[in-house]
Amino acid sequence: MDSRLLLLTLSLVSACGKKGTNDQPIIPPATVAPQITAEFFDGYFASRYLIADPACQSSVTGGGTIDHANLSVWRDGKVVQTNLSFPTAQARPALSGTGIAIALYGLYQQTDCGSATDASLCQSTPPVSLVAASTPLNICDTKREFVRTSVEAVALTGLAMLETASVFYRKVDGHSSDLPEATLLVLPKVETLYQGGAARSEAVDNLSYVPNFSGSPTFVIFPKGAYGVSLGRWVDVNLWEIPWTLAHEFGHHIFRFHSDIADATSGIAGAVPVHSFPTAFEPNTGFALAAVSGERHVGDADLLAAVNEGFADLYAYYVQGSAPGMTKGIDCFHENRDAGTALFADAQPKVLSAAVLAQFMATTKASANIDCSVPFYQDIHVIGAIFAYGVDQIFSASAGQDAAKKAALMLDWAKRIGQVYLPAQGAASANLTFGTFAHAALATIATGNTLPASACDAAKKVFPTYSDAWFPGEFTCK
DSSP one-letter string for 213-257: ETTEEEEEEPPPBHHHHHTTSSTT--GGGSHHHHHHHHHHHHHHH
Beta bridge mates, 192? 111, 201
pLDDT digits (tens, 9 = 90+) for 282-304: 444 445 444 456 788 999 999 99
Mean pLDDT of the 418-423 span: 94
The pLDDT of residue 196 is 87
Give the count of alpha carbons within 13 A of 97, CB side only: 28
Q: Flag whether pLDDT at 23 surpasses 90.
A: no
pLDDT digits (tens, 9 = 90+) for 57-92: 988 777 789 999 999 999 989 999 999 999 999 998
Mean pLDDT of the 189-212 span: 89
Q: What is the mean pLDDT of the chain?
A: 86
The pLDDT of residue 22 is 35
The pLDDT of residue 279 is 53
The pLDDT of residue 2 is 35
**Strand 216-221 with 272-273, pairing:** unpaired
393 phi and psi, to 5 degrees? -65, -40
- Percent of all residues in the chain with a pLDDT value above 70, rounded to a whole number: 86
pTM: 0.90
The pLDDT of residue 11 is 29
Could you tell me where the beta strands, DSSP code E, fall in 199-274? 199-202, 207-213, 216-221, 272-273
3-state secondary structure of 394: helix
Length of the chain: 478
Which residues 6+ apart lie within 8 Å of 315 measured at CB?
165, 247, 248, 250, 251, 254, 255, 407, 410
451, 426 contact by CB (below 8 A): no
The pLDDT of residue 27 is 33
385, 344 contact by CB (below 8 A): yes
97, 88 contact by CB (below 8 A): yes
Angle at 241 between CA 236 and CA 156, to 5 degrees: 130
The pLDDT of residue 400 is 97
Q: How confident is the model at residue 272 (pLDDT cuts 50, 70, 90)?
A: confident
The pLDDT of residue 28 is 31
The pLDDT of residue 429 is 66
Mean pLDDT of the 128-137 span: 91
